[in-house]
Amino acid sequence: MRLACAAAVVTAVALVTGSAGCSNRDSPRAHPKRPTGPPVVASAGPGGVQVVTIEVDDGLRFRPSVVEMRPGKLTIRLHDGGTTPHNLRFTATDRGISNVVGGQTREATFTAAAPGTYSFVCTYHERLGMNGSVVVR
């Protein structure tokens, strides 16, 4: 299984580097996956790229936390409606979307050619169960 980053388009905000606040002291196993609702099917966008918006806020959850798509390209728009910074990182590839906070939206387009489940986390709040997955059918 492979999830490749095809392109990254960022809204007009400063590029944030690094991952301050990340800690691996606690095992993620202590906080199992808890879907925040039913899976959401990514919608068809321009050029055959599938699109989904994932909302985050001070509740420390991805909504939706499970996204379903067909094999192909998926643009994820990560919108933070709160004041807590978040990011999104696919655990198998270390690719994802860097910090959003305070009303910002960042998006990136990924290619998932093969069916499978691709897990992602917010690296800041992984230990608190902030995780999700893209299911390619």
Nearest to Cu ion by Cβ — which residue? Answer: 122
Shortest Cβ 1–Cu ion spacing (Å): 24
Q: What does the radius of gyration of the chain's CA atoms come to, in whole angstroms?
A: 14
For Cu ion, the closer CB: 73 or 86: 86
Dihedral over Cα of 119, 96, 70, 63: its sign: positive
Q: CB under 5 A: which stretch of 11-19, 24-32, 85-93, 113-121 binds Cu ion?
A: 85-93
Using CA atoms, how far apart are residues 108 and 16, in angstroms rounded to an integer?
15
Which one of residues 73, 125, 126, 129 is an interface residue with Cu ion (CB under 5 A)?
125
For Cu ion, the closer CB: 107 or 136: 107
Q: Which residues bind Cu ion (CB under 5 A)?
A: 86, 122, 124-125, 130
